Amino acid sequence: MRITTLLASAAIALGLVTAAVAEDTTKVGFVYVGPVGDGGWTFTHDQARQAVEAEFGDAVETVFVESVAEGPDAERVLTQMALDGADLIFTTSFGYMDATNNVAAKFPDVKFEHATGYKRLHPNVSTYSARFYEGRAVQGHIAGNMTESNIIGYIASYPIPEVIRGINSAYLHASKVNPDVEFKIIWVYTWFDPAKEADAAKTLIDQGADVILQHTDSTAPHAAAQEAGNVVTFGQASDMSAYAPFPRVSAILDEWGDYYIARTRAVMDGTWESVDTWHGIGDGMVGIGEITDAVPANVAEEAMAMKAALADGSYHAFTGPINKQDGSAWLAEGEVADDGTLAGMNFYVEGITGEIPQ
């Protein structure tokens, strides 16, 4: 009887210890639009998830679900993640915006962080994004200098402000160094579909493009460019250095680790608040991947000088004079675009042909 009592007491004590440990562990969930091995957008978010684990060790538990479609399925995944005890959930694609807010309303004690969105309908929802257009400015400068055909191809995902900003920024800076440059844009209506991305790249190359920019997540455009020969590409979200030194000559880097660590710490210490964050090169959320020797040294130096000026605020990627596509004035000489206009950008700048899909 005494042994049985001791065993029972030990079991209860172990259970209490286990419960206490579980209670002290912060559970952080991540919902991804693509596979973690996409080599781009989702890959970088998952690298940041791993940075959270490395920073906090056993004090955190992270979970993720990959390749979640933007729509009703996202709401189901988020609901289950909240029911499973997540304290903080990062939803890492624009199309999760409504699902994030819908589920947040049902779980007021769970904190939600939505990437690239603008709706914060509840006090437990934050939004965050990066000023990718700063990186596009640097890419545009390199692209405009390197094209020989004067045709730059752009593989665009969805016609949302984030993507339109990137196209405009890249074009403005390519055309500054090469007034004869022409942009050809293909909308693929996907973030990650290697077959579609490859087809788009091949079509653009067939149309004369010798530089390819992309706002999609796979390395398929690099493979198509490599097969074609003398076609320049840029890494998207991650370095994609497997294709360096050519065709991939540089990259935009998405650096989420510091933000994810800071927001996780805020949940852990009780200081989390609903905020909107939009950081760029200066804050370390956007990086520029190594510029390879395939880029002329003077062009590389100019690109890095632009990066430094964007970082310290002495230069803004949207500085006038800039007209809209129809020729109407937008920014006067020396005038800088305001964040509100940039956040809702729904127009092309002068010089880009074609229409934005509705």
38 assigned to some structural domain: yes
Tally of CB atoms within 10 A around 152? 29
What CATH number did the domain enclosing 87 receive? 3.40.50.2300
pLDDT at 9: 45
pLDDT at 24: 85
**Structural domain for 103, as ranges:** 2-131+256-279
- Considering the domain architecture, whether residues 140 and 116 belong to the same structural domain is answered as no
* Total count of domains within the chain: 2
Give the rounded percent of residues in the chain with a pLDDT score beyond 70: 94
Closest CA to 160 of 251, 236, 95: 95
CA distance 273 to 125: 9
- Considering the domain architecture, whether residues 239 and 178 belong to the same structural domain is answered as yes
Q: Which residues of 302-330 are buried (b: 16+ CB within 10 A; e: fewer)?
A: bbeebbebbbeeebbbbeeebeebeeeeb
- Considering the domain architecture, whether residues 174 and 322 belong to the same structural domain is answered as yes
CA distance 194 to 216: 9
- Considering the domain architecture, whether residues 35 and 98 belong to the same structural domain is answered as yes
- Considering the domain architecture, whether residues 58 and 180 belong to the same structural domain is answered as no
Which tokens go with 75?
Answer: 């709401």
353 assigned to some structural domain: no
358 assigned to some structural domain: no
- Considering the domain architecture, whether residues 127 and 137 belong to the same structural domain is answered as no
163: left (phi over 0), alpha (psi -120 to 50) or beta: alpha
Amino acid (one-letter) located at 82: A
338 assigned to some structural domain: yes
Q: What is the pLDDT along the chain (358 residues), one digit of tens a residue?
A: 444 444 444 444 445 444 444 468 999 999 999 999 998 999 999 999 999 999 999 999 999 999 999 988 999 999 999 999 999 999 999 999 999 999 999 999 999 999 999 999 999 999 999 999 999 999 999 999 999 999 999 999 999 999 999 999 999 999 999 999 999 999 999 999 999 999 999 999 999 999 999 999 999 999 999 999 999 999 999 999 999 999 999 999 999 999 999 999 999 999 999 999 999 999 999 999 999 999 999 999 999 999 999 999 999 999 999 999 999 999 999 999 999 999 999 999 999 999 999 8
- Considering the domain architecture, whether residues 100 and 242 belong to the same structural domain is answered as no
pTM of the model: 0.91
CA distance 70 to 236: 21
pLDDT at 125: 98
63 assigned to some structural domain: yes
Closest CA to 44 of 34, 54, 29, 57: 34
- Considering the domain architecture, whether residues 207 and 105 belong to the same structural domain is answered as no
pLDDT digits 0-9 by tens, 205-255 = 999 999 999 999 999 999 999 999 999 999 999 999 999 999 999 999 999
9 assigned to some structural domain: yes
- Considering the domain architecture, whether residues 248 and 331 belong to the same structural domain is answered as yes
Closest CA to 65 of 51, 54, 79: 79
What length does the chain have? 358
- Considering the domain architecture, whether residues 91 and 102 belong to the same structural domain is answered as yes
pLDDT at 23: 61
187 assigned to some structural domain: yes
pLDDT digits 0-9 by tens, 40-52 = 999 999 999 999 9
- Considering the domain architecture, whether residues 172 and 125 belong to the same structural domain is answered as no
DSSP H helices in the chain? 2-24, 41-56, 72-83, 97-106, 132-146, 161-177, 194-206, 220-228, 257-269, 297-312, 339-343
Which tokens go with 104?
Answer: 């947040």
CA 329 to mean position of chain CA atoms: 30
82 assigned to some structural domain: yes
- Considering the domain architecture, whether residues 238 and 116 belong to the same structural domain is answered as no
pLDDT at 101: 98
pLDDT at 11: 44
pLDDT at 270: 97
- For tokens 């909240």, the residue is 82
341 phi/psi in degrees, rounded to 5? -65, -45
pLDDT at 71: 87
Which tokens go with 180?
Answer: 């004869």
